[in-house]
Chains A and B, each alone.
Chain A
Amino acid sequence: MPEPATGGKAETGEARGAADRELVRRAQEGDKEAFETLVRKHQGRVFAVAGGILRTREDVEDIAQQVFLKAYFSIKRFDQRAAFSTWLYKITVNECWDLLRKKKVRPLMYEADLNEEQAHAYQSKEDGGEYVPDVSERLEAREQLEQWLECLDEKDRTMLVLKEVQGFTVEEIAGIMGLNGNTVKVRMFRARQRVAERIRRKKRAARV
């Protein structure tokens, strides 16, 4: 998972929050450099969140840009009661859902849209020593994941991906989804039951 840039130092959550608050305050006064720093700090996670929900890399990029544009033009109205990151990820999730609703498709996979150049990039990464699964392998793996997640609705899927793939805490997910922490836990429990059942069924079928 891409971590936000922290300028080389390991920042604590509190220090990061304070730094964000200051940057937001400056951005609210029209400081573009402050906003640019916010973009640089949070783009990794915005990409990761959108990537967990959307199908193609192009969609992820477009939505990420849209999210930051929206944030730029509405930052004056952001009252800093919640963390800037929570506000931003909330915008991200909503933008992704809007796009999915417009497209009326289930999120599938973005490797499917890899062009030749990108496929080569993956291959050369592999040649460089770092193990990167073959594009078709990744494609297959992702397809499998999508089949497992197919049984969940948009919200449950997003929650599970935010938690298991992007490492968000229950509290953060509750903030992003506008839900109570306990509701998130219960929905996650039920979502896990359904996905685990699918995984088991698939494994049983593979054995037979």
Chain B
Amino acid sequence: MTTLDQLPIGKTAIVVNLHSRGANRRRMLDLGILPGTRIFAEARSPLGDPVAYRIREGLIALRREQARQIEITETEGDAS
């Protein structure tokens, strides 16, 4: 299973599944992260965590353990 934390900076992925539950899952949905959503890995913070992702025209920072709960397939192509 590939998860969002494995997506290299500058690459785009499509969300396949959310593995978080409860409040964390709700949070992801509210940030616009659903199966089928396109996510672009834009920048890594100096310490490598969190990573800023371009999601539905917004730039969202996710921690590694949050990104690890998001199953993806990597795609060719650019942002958004």
Chain B binds chain A: no
> Chain B: residues with CB nearer than 8 A to chain A?
none
